Amino acid sequence: MKKGFTLAEVLVTLSIVGVIAILTIPSLVKNYRYKVYSNSIEKAYSQISAAVKQAMDDDMTNDWYKSTSGAIDDNENCTKGSCYFLNNYFKLARKNCGGSSSPKCFADTYTNLDGSSGNLNFERGYCAQTVNGMTMCMNIDSVNASTKIALDTNGPSQPNIVGLDTFILQVLPNGEVKDWTDNPDLCNTKASEYNNIADYATGCLVKVMRNNWTITDDK
């Protein structure tokens, strides 16, 4: 005659399962979130790179700064530069949503992996949010061949953490989109006395790219 489990045996088994769940579920959730962040920045990078290429092709130029999109900013009339580029090469849900606009398409505060916080301080650029939630603030100085893009892959939504959903990009004259620096060690490292999130975000994109588009929690 077969005997069933006693109540004590069932309780012990449930306790073991519970302990295993407590130990493993947080790690699984974290790994899933990091995978989402990794996919988001890879997709955002691909979209921006494709848009830059298309803008240059449309103007039949091999020099980003000789294209209409790469010209010095005219954000008031939106005839060239950042405003023109973002409005013509992305499907936007919100336009001109940076600076003093309300509500903004960026978060008010961003956090670094070391726990410190700061703001974007990107008042000079033109900001917009795409229909898929990605937010970009862009500033172009074609005279000095400089294009800076502050990118939040999911806009003001959490986590708003440098190196997870927030990055700083640039566009080279040949149209290559890359990190503001080639040094991944600068990611989450304060580069000046100002509490500007851009100081911490430089180096984070190249760090992810060199890690095969994988974000990890190493600091």
Tally the domains of the chain.
1
In sequence order, which ranges of the chain are alpha helices (DSSP H)? 7-58, 81-89, 197-201, 204-210
Q: Could you tell me the residue range of the domain that residue 25 belongs to?
A: 7-210
What local confidence, expressed as pLDDT, does residue 57 receive?
97
The pLDDT, as a whole number, for residue 10 is: 60
pTM: predicted TM-score of the whole model, two decimal places: 0.84
In a domain, 217, yes or no: no
Note whether 78 and 84 are within 8 A (CB). yes
Q: Within a domain: residue 219?
A: no
**pLDDT at position 199, please?**
74
Q: At what angle do helices 81-89 and 7-58 cross, to 10 degrees?
A: 120
Query: Is residue 216 assigned to a domain?
Result: no
pLDDT of res. 18: 65
pLDDT digits (tens, 9 = 90+) for 14-47: 667 666 656 565 565 567 788 889 999 999 999 9
Q: According to the model, what pLDDT value does residue 37 have? A: 93
Q: What is the pLDDT of residue 62?
A: 96
| Domain assignment present for 215 | no
Residue 1 within any structural domain of the chain: no
With a cut of 70, list the residues of the chain below it in pLDDT: 1-5, 7-15, 17-30, 100-102, 120-124, 190-196, 218-219
Q: Does residue 218 belong to any structural domain of this protein?
A: no
Give the CA distances from residue 33 to residues 27, 109, 180, 195, 219, in Å, rounded to whole numbers and listed in that order.
Answer: 10, 20, 25, 27, 17
Q: Is residue 79 part of a domain?
A: yes
